[in-house]
Amino acid sequence: MAIFIQSLDYNLWDLIVDGPNLPSIRNENGESIPKPRNTYNDEDRRMVQINAKAKHIIICAINSSEFNRVSSCISAKEMWDRLEVTYEGTNQVKEAKISMLVHDYEMFTMNEK
């Protein structure tokens, strides 16, 4: 899927890997909050459009059960990360799987027949 997204537009892949730069402003407490849509400029709209395009591509490539996992995500990066953890696991899970497969390989023997 990564190659497919990269072939469409490499900016989409960068957005998925690095995360979106969604328009935000600082409130009086210094916290970053989403920028109101009525105050978007052209650059803000471009960033939101790229994120929406990446989300659309991901949604078109998944089935209904996967959609239920990612439908609440705001950004394409968040969707990708959730799918990645679901199907590949965290680094600890990956290491455990590799260790188990190596162990199975080392214990491999031929049956009598």
pLDDT digits (tens, 9 = 90+) for 29-80: 889 888 899 999 999 999 899 999 999 999 999 998 889 989 999 899 999 9
pLDDT tens digit sequence for 3-25: 999 999 888 899 999 988 788 88
Q: Where are the domains of the chain?
A: 2-106
Q: What mean pLDDT is predicted for residues 86-107?
A: 77
**In whole angstroms, what is the distance from residue 45 CA to residue 23 CA?**
9
Query: Is the model's pLDDT at 89 over the cut of 80?
Result: no
- pLDDT band for 90, please (50, 70, 90 cuts): low
pTM: 0.69
CA torsion angle 73 77 83 85 (round to 10): -110
